[in-house]
A and B are shown apart, each in its own frame.
Chain A
Amino acid sequence: MSTNIIDIQNLEMVIAGRRILKVDSLHIARGEKVAILGRNGAGKSTLLRCLNGFVKPTAGHIVVNRHTVFPLRRERDLRLVRAQVGQVLQGLHLVARLSAMENVLVGGLARMPRLRSWARIFTNEETQRAQAALKAVGMAHLAEKRADKLSGGERQKVAIARMLMQQPELVLADEPTAALDPTAADEVCELLVKATENSTLITVVHNVSLVPLLSQRVIGLKAGEVVLDCASHELTQAQLDHLYE
């Protein structure tokens, strides 16, 4: 039984003859905090999206939380994995027309009986947990506000609250602070770290100064290949220069 939450073997992804990703072997242990660095188009987001099955690689083997995500055997496996994987992405990754509160409740959908979830009927326990999640990110006062009426920072906080509701074992964050002002970015990062205390966190970061806050381990991608894998405190300027050159 592996203690790893993520095992990737011989992952390769080719689109229109161009190689997007080539990861021979990558393992991430349960509870680890990992930052993924790299230039635009290095394959960071694609790698992240491979993990919860939104992108299908060309070849390889991906196991997330004991479920094989690729090659996928049943669509149901993917749902089981996704229920355990929270995501905080850049931009509006909420249902724009639903309120902040409803967006948080989305986090509990996988555990809800179908019929009840279709009719949007919630138990007291569920609404209380959603309220607590909103309160934890300091958004309780905006619970009724529609997601598309919230500011960028507020949206990310709602996404974090949704993740708290979901209680995932793994959290994928793709540039969660992109397009946020420095104050909001710091706030979102701190909330993210606090919310993932007991789970694994993988963050795609553009702002290198956030690396020490968000991670203990750094993985650098260059043209789809892992060229850097070290502890965050060991990261040197020379390595960064090489990565971004």
Chain B
Amino acid sequence: MNWMQFKLRLKGRLGFFGLVFLYALIVFGCVYSLATAGDLSMGRNPVANFIKTATEFARPSFLDVWFGDPAYEYKSDDGTVLRTENRQEVEHQWLVQLGFATWTTFKIATLGSLLGAILALPFGVLSAKNIKAPRVLTVFSRLVLDTSRSIHTLVFGLVLVGIVGLGPTAGILAIAFHSLGTYGKLFAESIETLDMASIEAVKGVGASPSQTFFWSVWPNVLPQWVSSHLYLWEYNIRDSTILGIIGAGGLGLLISEAVALFQWGRLSSILIVVVLMVTAFDAISRRIRTALL
């Protein structure tokens, strides 16, 4: 190996090792600063707490609809019965509430996604490199998209609750404003990766610009847009479950209630619903996406 070869080898390797070293340095910095501040503790008895929580989680509250005590007694410390409750009936009512909350969450996610997609369209198109829109517009669109992407749905939600008040409207707008950024980026990417050969193929037979659009751009872009929409819709269903915590209604409301009252069994029921909903939606949207692409 002569000097030239050695230099060539070193150059590529050095750069990569440099990056690895830098990364290791960052990780070490994080761990070290947390450790010295004593913030890396796991609490007083994590194992016992874990077992307790896991046990409560393992018995989701909806089971009470069938197996609950029809005359559950709440007692005070000296044994006096304060109140009897039909657990089956109470949980049945709560389950109905859960159903409605799920529906609200679904509505927030669906309308928020659609609104986000529509709002993102002009910004996505303008920020695509190959559209060659005026520089000012391109920069402005990118700025809008990046800003919306970097602000979390929850933050949007908090601000919007202050503006439009409590309820699903704030949730819908929060979802729309946050996913706008992702939608715009995906739209722009699908335009940037347009198959130019197929556009020339249609232009080449003397087709008008509108014909070229409908015969080449549209069939190229549409499946990708539908696919991104399904993907983000699903993502937003997950995202909107949390929105209730800040007062946008839906499952989040029940989550914050369950957490505040330490009702892990109910939280477990909610999480099962969320997982089922997301899994079902994912299965359906994946089928549609593979059929489209």
On A, residues with C-beta under 8 Å from B are: 52, 54, 79-87, 89, 91-98, 103, 106-107, 109-110, 112, 114, 117-118, 120, 162, 166
Contact = CB atoms under 8 A, between A and B. Distances in A.
Chain B CB within 10 Å, residue with most, of A83, A91, A95, A98:
A95
A34 to B, nearest CB: 19
A79 B198 CA distance: 17
B221 to A, nearest CB: 10
Interface string B213-226: 01110011001000
Chain A CB within 10 Å, residue with most, of B204, B207, B208, B211:
B204
B209 to A, nearest CB: 9
A166 B210 CA distance: 19
Nearest to A83: B206
A92 B208 CA distance: 21
B206 A106 contact: no
A109 B205 contact: yes
Given A95-B215, A97-B219, 13 more contacts: A52-B204, A79-B206, A87-B201, A92-B198, A93-B200, A95-B201, A95-B220, A98-B215, A106-B205, A110-B207, A112-B211, A118-B210, A120-B214
Contacts of B203: 54, 82
A92 B219 CA distance: 16
B210 A82 contact: no
B202 A109 contact: yes
Question: Chain B binding site: helix, strand, loop or mixed by DSSP?
Answer: helix
B200 A82 contact: no
Chain B CB within 10 Å, residue with most, of A97, A117, A162:
A97
Contact of A109 (B206, B219, B223): B206
Nearest to A147: B198
B69 interface: no
B204 A87 contact: yes
Nearest to B293: A97
B197 interface: yes
B219 A107 contact: no
Given A94-B198, A97-B219, A118-B214, A79 B208 contact: yes
Given A91-B197, A94-B198, A117-B211, A110 B219 contact: no
Contact of B204 (A85, A91, A117): A85
5 contacts: A92-B198, A95-B220, A106-B202, A106-B207, A114-B208
Contacts of A92: 197-198
Interface in B132-149: none
A97 B220 contact: yes
B85 interface: no
B204 A95 contact: no
B73 interface: no
Nearest to A82: B206
B211 A114 contact: yes
Nearest to A166: B205
Contacts of B201: 87, 93-95, 103, 106
Given A97-B219, A98-B219, A84 B197 contact: no
A162 B211 contact: no
Given A93-B201, A95-B201, A97-B223, A81 B214 contact: no
Nearest to B198: A95
A9 to B, nearest CB: 24
A21 B198 CA distance: 26
A79 B202 CA distance: 11
B14 to A, nearest CB: 34
A47 B202 CA distance: 20
A95 B205 contact: no
Top 8 nearest A-B pairs by Cβ distance? A83-B206, A110-B206, A82-B206, A95-B198, A109-B207, A97-B219, A79-B206, A118-B214
A91 to B, nearest CB: 7
Contacts of A96: 195, 198, 220
Contacts of B198: 92-97
Nearest to B214: A118
A119 to B, nearest CB: 8
A65 to B, nearest CB: 11
A96 to B, nearest CB: 6
A72 to B, nearest CB: 14
A81 B206 CA distance: 7
A83 B268 CA distance: 66
